[in-house]
A and B are shown apart, each in its own frame.
Chain A
Amino acid sequence: MFDCMIIGAGVVGCSIARELSRYNLDLCVLDKEEDAACVTSKANSGIVHAGYDAEPGSCKALFNARGQRMFEKLSRELDFPFKRCGSIVLGFKEDDIAVLNSLMERGTKNGLDDLRIIGKEELSLIEPNISENAVAALLAPSGGIVSPYEMTIALAENATQNGVKFFFGAKVQSLEKLSGRSGGEFFRAKTSKGCFESKIVINAAGLFADEINNMLSAIKFKVIPRKGEYCLLDSSEAGLVSHTVFQTPGPMGKGVLATQTADGNILLGPTSKDVLDKEDFSTTSDGLSEVLAKASRSLKKIPTDKIITSFAGLRAHVESDDFIAGESEDVKGLINFIGIESPGLSAAPALGEKAAQIACAILSPPRKHSFNPFRPKTPRFRELSNQERQALIEGDPNYGKIICRCEKVSKAEILAALRSPLKPSSLDAIKRRTRVGMGRCQSGFCMMKLVGIISEELGASPDAVTKFGGASTLLVCRNKSELKEEFE
């Protein structure tokens, strides 16, 4: 029997797990995927919002304001890429300036005191590649960028260090509340990885948070998957923008953003379209054209020949358009986080605190004295000076074997990832931890080397190595092994 079962290993679930690992509790995290950050937390804008956008007084505003201030400390403790690059909202015509002013007003109500409107001149000074059509902008110095999957993995790893158990490939099939022999109530989840029991359940199941809630509660929710498509540009184009550049929301919709990513690429997107299938992560030609068409309102020129990949993510939208964050009204011990769409990433650290407060009120656990807030640092070859590289290689020659030429990832980093707490085994899982294969050649050069390292380290045949778990294998058989049958 666990004290607490967290369903979902996205950024919210992992923030909660890490917060709760400060206490003496038996904790587990269940996720249907093969790794942390496999769904919404891996495919989003990676923006830490300053917090001027949400309706004052809403949960979104509250948790965004609190959460975004926690990133410096968190990124230091957990060693994930985060940068406060500032954000701007572009206005293209006189009417837009009124909208920018109301955004500024809203931001002030949400506790931001450093917002200001800048004119065309200052704008072109700080962002020279912005379209001539932009007449003014709202500048929010506290906007930031983060690698959402590296952050999620870091939270999960640190939680693991502090005793939390993660179970992957564990899809919750049913969930019920039962009474024990001694009269106490508990929850039982039947999953594809067996049965789990706990005193309380924290529902951080993202797109499926409605289904988890609806298994237990009479108060039903519905999560609508809202697709966002993106194009990612080569890091050679990093100079395109230095702030996160939004567009004034208007009758044309919310517009798309152009931003540097925490890893130094340029990201354009997202679109916003409700879809039916919660597992439809496909990009569409209409969607990708829309990204480029809308982004070209903001930028003088988009180097479309430098697009290295495109992707789609799904937001967990609910009709009320606000986070549902708290204990269920009719099911004691069920703590819900439903509808955590943007600014969910920015809010995640604060949502983690919130969950911990509620859980602690129920369980009254003592603090864990051995809690270690720091995740061990793995040196990243690409970020080091040649002197530092020399020193590292002297200690471990695998730092001198470069596997990914584009992102300069060494074999030592890949082995460290394979041996890291969540025991990742797929190409994409290693990619998210090390950036191997994420560069301009998109793993054309390193794929075979990576398959070789993974299969050797895990003692598995190369054809058992997958791109992202399940049946996503890369190799099908040995050469000619299937020819024989045909000719006999």
Chain B
Amino acid sequence: MKAVDVVIIGGGPAGLAAAIGAKNAGAGSILVIERDSRLGGILNQCIHNGFGLHTFNEELTGSEYSARYEAMARDLGVPVLLNSMVVDITPDRRVFAVNERGVQELQAKAVVLAMGCRERPRGSLNIAGSRTAGIFTAGTAQKFVNIDGWMPGREVVVLGSGDIGLIMARRMTLEGASVKAVAEVMPYSGGLKRNIVQCLDDFGIPLLLSHTVIEIFGKDRLSGVAIAEVDESRKPIEKTRRLVPCDTLLLSVGLIPENELSKMAGVKLSPATGGPYVNESFQTSVEGIFACGNVLHVHDLVDFVSEESEIAGANAAGYAMGRGLSGGGIPVIAGNGVRYCVPWHINPDNVIDKISLRFRVTGVYRNSRVSVRFDDNQVFGRKSMILTPGEMESVTLKKETIAKLASAKKITVSVEEG
């Protein structure tokens, strides 16, 4: 068994930033464990631009963005175990990783969970019809096209308007495929506004809001799908049913934080995010185990992932070096119009400089106000023309504000009128 100060599980954007954070905070020995043959995670297949506006003030592709973090990690001498899959983890932070050389057993002083997320498959929607070839999650199709150079189809319908679905609608078009439509069951898109404009509008691809795929046809390969409009309760309206011939259905219907290892470690998960409950320091319910990135909650922008992961990595390093965190904390409540807010509680004693509250709203809100209250006292308010569930909101509270927390019983984040 090998002893390591900080073990980071996952070498995607979260793991890389956590490693940099840990190293900069002075961690002695660290190790990033990555199951793929290279670092960067999902960013490797994100060859479109739009990354890094917050972090680098430039518009980079996903692979460029991850290359910068890889270079930073390399410069800091971050050790990496590639082609290695963590198969076991215990609450006392023993980590077992499998690779061609065997089962590597590590005893970590602190662990950072940075496993990312996976795509929701067809089964979770229970779409009726045939189980033919030609149905892919958007990310799988993206891997086929961008990493391996193979087209998974020629005539495409995209179900779900998550960002990967929007990006893939454009990508398939650029590669010569015909994208018939993007159907979205909700009355609003789950993706970023800029992606709707740049990936659909610019290419004349119709976005069918309040529509879904209700049946899949085809014997060997997909031959078409039935699309229908849905009513307010998201039930298909039979008379609007129409057949769209296609050979490919791409699913972009949600991402699920990948927390199987977290569960093994005894980490408590939130039903709202599918990720661990964490405090202001990104420590989970298990002491010494931290979480960041999409394993914690699904992000739209990698810049936010990097930011929170650096903090998580630094705190993990601090913990490994014996700088314990004060326990407890004041609960952060998802109030009116807010689905969840990370972190789940804040102990003001642990806040070094400032803290960001990241949350998603439950529906589309126009001309409203985001508000943060300590008990009943509003400490933050921001007017907003539009809030949608597809865009993560962020509020940063400064140390001075946090200082006012001491006597409060709860922090409430909510959407308020005007």
Q: Identify the A interface with B (CB < 8 A).
A: 231-232, 236, 279, 281-285, 287-288, 304-305, 307-311, 386, 389-390, 393-394, 397-398, 400-402, 405-406, 408, 440-445, 447-448, 452, 462-463, 466-468, 470-483, 486
Convert B124-145 into 0s and 1s, putting 1 for each residue whose CB lies closer than 8 angstroms to a CB of A: 1010111111101101100111
Most buried by A among B96, B103, B132, B263: B103
Distance to closest chain A CB from B1 (angstroms): 11
Per a CB cutoff under 8 Å, which of A468, A478, A482 touches B150? A478
By the criterion CB–CB under 8 Å, are B137 and A393 in contact? no
By the criterion CB–CB under 8 Å, are B150 and A479 in contact? yes
Residues of B within 8 A of A480 (CB): 175-176
Per a CB cutoff under 8 Å, which of B98, B103, B131, B152 touches A476? B152
Which of B16-24, B214-222, B326-334, B380-388 lines the interface with chain A? B214-222
Q: How far is the CA of A406 from the CA of B259 in the complex (A)?
A: 11
Q: Say whether B102 faces chain A, with CB atoms less than 8 Å apart.
A: yes
Q: Say whether B151 faces chain A, with CB atoms less than 8 Å apart.
A: yes
Interchain residue pairs with CB less than 8 A apart (28): A231-B126, A236-B263, A281-B130, A282-B128, A283-B126, A285-B214, A307-B123, A310-B126, A386-B105, A389-B102, A389-B103, A400-B98, A401-B83, A406-B260, A440-B118, A441-B118, A447-B136, A462-B148, A466-B220, A467-B132, A472-B132, A474-B134, A474-B152, A476-B151, A476-B152, A479-B150, A480-B175, A482-B151
Distance to closest chain B CB from A425 (angstroms): 14
Known: A405-B85, A462-B150, A482-B176. A279 touches B100 (CB 8 A): no
Known: A400-B102, A471-B220. A479 touches B122 (CB 8 A): no
Per a CB cutoff under 8 Å, which of A283, A287, A440, A448 touches B148? A448
By the criterion CB–CB under 8 Å, are B151 and A478 in contact? yes
Convert B257-269 into 0s and 1s, putting 1 for each residue whose CB lies closer than 8 angstroms to a CB of A: 0001001000000
By the criterion CB–CB under 8 Å, are B130 and A287 in contact? no
By the criterion CB–CB under 8 Å, are B121 and A393 in contact? no
Q: How far is the CA of A236 from the CA of B256 in the complex (A)?
A: 14
Q: Say whether B35 faces chain A, with CB atoms less than 8 Å apart.
A: yes
Q: Say whether B184 faces chain A, with CB atoms less than 8 Å apart.
A: no
How many interface contacts (CB-CB < 8 Å) are there between A and B?
156
By the criterion CB–CB under 8 Å, are A397 and B150 in contact? no
Q: Identify the B interface with A (CB < 8 A).
A: 35, 83, 85, 87-88, 96, 98-103, 105, 118-119, 121-124, 126, 128-134, 136-137, 139-140, 143-145, 147-154, 175-176, 214-217, 219-221, 247, 260, 263
- Write the chain A residue with the least CB distance to B217: A282
Most buried by A among B118, B128, B129, B145: B128
- Write the chain A residue with the least CB distance to B138: A444
Per a CB cutoff under 8 Å, which of A448, A471, A476 touches B154? A476
Q: How far is the CA of A481 from the CA of B151 in the complex (A)?
A: 9
By the criterion CB–CB under 8 Å, are A402 and B140 in contact? no
Residues of B within 8 A of A282 (CB): 128-131, 215-217
Q: How far is the CA of A400 from the CA of B166 in the complex (A)?
A: 36
Per a CB cutoff under 8 Å, which of B101, B128, B143 touches A283? B128
Known: A386-B103, A386-B105, A472-B133. A408 touches B87 (CB 8 A): yes
Q: How far is the CA of A393 from the CA of B96 in the complex (A)?
A: 14
Residues of A within 8 A of B133 (CB): 466-468, 472-474
- Write the chain B residue with the least CB distance to A398: B100
By the criterion CB–CB under 8 Å, are A386 and B96 in contact? yes
By the criterion CB–CB under 8 Å, are B83 and A393 in contact? no
Residues of A within 8 A of B99 (CB): 400-401
Residues of B within 8 A of A473 (CB): 133, 221
Per a CB cutoff under 8 Å, which of A386, A442, A471 touches B221? A471
Residues of B within 8 A of A405 (CB): 35, 85
Most buried by A among B96, B133, B151, B220: B133
By the criterion CB–CB under 8 Å, are A448 and B144 in contact? yes
By the criterion CB–CB under 8 Å, are A309 and B121 in contact? yes
Distance to closest chain B CB from A435 (angstroms): 15
By the criterion CB–CB under 8 Å, are B118 and A445 in contact? yes
Per a CB cutoff under 8 Å, which of B101, B128, B131, B260 touches A288? B128
Most buried by A among B105, B122, B145: B122
Residues of B within 8 A of A475 (CB): 144, 150-152
By the criterion CB–CB under 8 Å, are A441 and B119 in contact? yes
By the criterion CB–CB under 8 Å, are A402 and B35 in contact? yes
Residues of A within 8 A of B149 (CB): 478-479
Residues of A within 8 A of B220 (CB): 466-468, 470-472
Known: A408-B87, A472-B133. A390 touches B103 (CB 8 A): yes
Distance to closest chain B CB from A271 (angstroms): 12
By the criterion CB–CB under 8 Å, are B139 and A444 in contact? yes
Residues of B within 8 A of A443 (CB): 140
Residues of A within 8 A of B101 (CB): 393, 397, 400
Residues of A within 8 A of B119 (CB): 441, 444
Q: How far is the CA of A462 from the CA of B150 in the complex (A)?
A: 9
By the criterion CB–CB under 8 Å, are B87 and A402 in contact? yes
Q: How far is the CA of A310 from the CA of B128 in the complex (A)?
A: 8
